[in-house]
Each structure stands twice: as C-alpha cells, then as structure tokens.
C-alpha cells in the first residue's frame, strides 16, 4: 500500500517562500512519477508540477504555466521524498496542496490519472 504524507504548508506573506515535502512509502520510489496538485475552495483540483524518471538517472519536470519560473519540483530518492520549492508566492497560490502518484505511467496533468494521494497541506499567502 502506497502512502504519501505531505508537510511544510503554512501562512506566508506575498513574495515569500515555502518548501513542501512529500514522504512516500510502500513501493520503489525512484522510477515513479510524482506530482503536486492544489485545490482552492470552490475550485477544481489543479495540476501544479510533476517529475518523472526518463532513464539513466535523469528526471523530467513539468509545470503549470501559472507557477513556471517560481516553483521547483525535485526529489531525493534516498529519502523517498519529493519537494516543491515555492518562491515569489502570490495570494492566488493559496490552496490545499496535495502530493500524488499514479500506479504507472508518466506525467499527466489531470488529477483523475493519479491513484495515490496524501492528506494535503494548507498554504495561505497573505497580501
């Protein structure tokens, strides 16, 4: 059974930074796609970023347009952990952030393609 546990959310002023962590357990971590989604009240669950293995110890990262250049996704396979470094935060980044993983396959931007989810961590950016 795959388990994902997020941490690192909180309250930050606009322009500030936060780093989210997602600790995974239950399967071999290094070759699987990992993703971050977010959901604000009354809105759809939106893709934020994802990272997947493309062979020979190389990874590919994909970002939503709204966060590209501000957020960075990374992973530490030795710790079975994926990170989301969020810089230059804006009030519109406020949401519950979820870590997700599919049973198989590469990066997809739709949340229904992911089978495993963490409990979410709240990020609030004040103006």
CA–CA gap between residue 64 and residue 80 (Å, rounded): 24
Mean pLDDT of 107-113: 94
pLDDT of residue 29: 76
pLDDT of residue 10: 97
Greater model confidence, 108 or 30: 108
Q: At residue 7, does pLDDT exceed 90? A: yes
- In this prediction, residue 105 has a pLDDT band, given cuts at 50, 70 and 90, of confident
The encoded tokens of residue 82 equal 């994926």
Mean pLDDT of 88-93: 98
Q: At residue 30, does pLDDT exceed 80? A: no
What number of residues does the chain have? 127
Mean pLDDT of 38-55: 94
CA–CA gap between residue 74 and residue 99 (Å, rounded): 12
CA–CA gap between residue 47 and residue 70 (Å, rounded): 15
């Amino acid at each position: 059974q795959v388990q994902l546990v997020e941490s690192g959310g909180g309250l930050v002023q606009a322009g500030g930074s936060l780093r989210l962590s997602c600790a995974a357990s239950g399967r071999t971590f290094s070759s699987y796609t990992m993703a971050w989604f977010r959901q604000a009240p009354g809105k759809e669950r939106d893709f934020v970023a994802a990272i997947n293995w493309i062979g020979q110890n190389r990874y590919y990262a994909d970002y939503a347009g709204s966060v590209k250049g501000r957020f960075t996704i990374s992973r530490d396979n030795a710790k079975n952990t994926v990170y989301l470094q969020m810089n230059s935060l804006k009030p519109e980044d406020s949401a519950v952030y979820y870590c997700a993983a599919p049973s198989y396959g590469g990066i997809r931007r739709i949340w229904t393609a992911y089978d495993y989810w963490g409990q979410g961590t709240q990020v609030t950016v004040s103006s």
